[in-house]
């Protein structure tokens, strides 16, 4: 059972158009490898309290964009700010506000779930006593936290990865396919957790292939195609009269 999470951050109701505080601002961000442009002059803004969907077909550049935001990849051009910090000048200050899971979960198989949170979560700073147990409870792993990671199912690994993203109570969560490999009941629980976190003022950037999921929980979304943002809007507006899948297919179809 996923538990709601307390937060010290101020609440900004998702979807409210007034008093919007931008927490991620991206301008002209570009990454190319030789003549191949993977991320192409991306502009987007994520506001506090948003659950922001990052959509696109395979190879659209979503994961590269996230890796750029997190400083794992050096940009070819452009700039971005996280909570008013310029990561090119002070990556450490910018990343202090971010918890992230990228692609498939990655942990030390010889350590337990709790030890993994201790070792990887402890890098940023000492964790308060009881924090690891709180997080394990939050992501529904309280009974398996003392088992070695190598014994976990894919769904449990995903939950642990979300737990690691949460362990420092960051203002922004960047989650790449967080429900991948999780059973339907688990997906519902994670969706509920994300909603609760958003209501508590957290900002969530969600990469997902599950359009129905994005439609259900995201407030705003951007659709990428070939490294470019083809649209950025409220999910309500994207859905329009039809559904998100139709909009997505329309915007990402290849013109021959």
Partner 1 sequence: MNRLVRLELLKLRRRWLIWILLGLLVAGEALTIFGGYYLAVSGTMTFLDERGQILPIEMVLPNFILPGALRAVLGLAQQVGSWLLVILTAVVIGMEEAYGTLRLILISGIGRTRYLAMKLTTLFIVVVSFVGTAVISGMGFALIVANVAEIPITPTPVEGSVWLSSFAMAVRTIVALTVPVVIAFVATLLSRSQTIGIAIGLVYFLAESVVNGLLALLGEAGQQIALLLPGTHIQALMAHNQFNSQGLIPGYLPSQPIAGLVLLSYILVLPGIAWALFVRRDIRSGSSQ
Of 7-15, 95-103, 128-136, 246-254, the segment contacting partner 1 by CB under 8 A is 95-103
Q: What's the closest the beta carbon of residue 206 comes to partner 1, in angstroms? A: 17
Q: What's the closest the beta carbon of residue 167 comes to partner 1, in angstroms? A: 10
Q: What's the closest the beta carbon of residue 127 comes to partner 1, in angstroms? A: 11
Of 18-26, 99-107, 203-211, 216-224, the segment contacting partner 1 by CB under 8 A is 99-107
Please name every residue paired with 39 in a beta bridge, in sequence order, or none if there are none. 31
- The binding track of 184-223 with respect to partner 1, each residue x by CB under 8 A or -, is ----------------------------------------
Of 88-96, 139-147, 199-207, 232-240, the segment contacting partner 1 by CB under 8 A is 88-96
Size of the residue set binding partner 1 (CB under 8 A): 35
Q: What's the closest the beta carbon of residue 81 comes to partner 1, in angstroms? A: 15
Nearest to 67 by CA among 233, 205, 226: 205
How many CB atoms lie under 10 A from the CB of residue 36? 8
Residue selected from 5, 96, 187, 209 as contacting partner 1 according to rule CB under 8 A: 96
* Binding site residues, partner 1, CB under 8 A: 63, 67, 70-74, 91-96, 98, 100, 102-111, 115, 118-120, 122-124, 126, 150, 164
């Amino acid at each position: 059972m996923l538990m709601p999470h307390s937060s010290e951050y101020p609440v900004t109701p998702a979807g409210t158009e007034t008093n919007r505080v931008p927490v991620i601002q991206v301008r002209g961000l570009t990454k190319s490898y030789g003549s191949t442009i993977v991320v192409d002059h991306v502009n987007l803004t994520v506001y506090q309290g948003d659950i922001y969907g990052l959509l696109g077909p395979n190879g659209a550049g979503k994961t590269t964009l996230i890796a750029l935001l997190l400083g794992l990849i050096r940009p070819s051009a452009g700039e971005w700010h996280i909570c008013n910090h310029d990561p090119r000048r002070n990556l450490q200050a910018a990343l202090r506000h971010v918890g992230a899971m990228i692609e498939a979960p990655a942990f030390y198989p010889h350590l337990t779930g709790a030890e993994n949170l201790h070792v990887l979560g402890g890098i940023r700073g000492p964790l308060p006593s009881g924090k690891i147990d709180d997080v394990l409870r939050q992501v529904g792993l309280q009974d398996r936290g003392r088992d070695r990671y190598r014994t976990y199912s894919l769904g449990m690994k995903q939950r642990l990865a979300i737990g690691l993203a949460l362990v420092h109570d960051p203002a922004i969560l960047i989650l790449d396919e967080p429900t991948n490999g999780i059973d339907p009941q688990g997906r519902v629980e994670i969706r509920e957790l994300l909603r609760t976190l958003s209501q508590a003022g957290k900002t969530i950037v969600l990469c997902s292939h599950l359009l129905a999921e994005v439609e259900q929980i995201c407030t705003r979304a951007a659709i990428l195609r070939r490294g470019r943002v083809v649209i950025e809007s409220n999910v309500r507006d994207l859905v329009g009269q039809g559904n998100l899948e139709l909009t997505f297919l329309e915007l990402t179809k290849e013109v021959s």
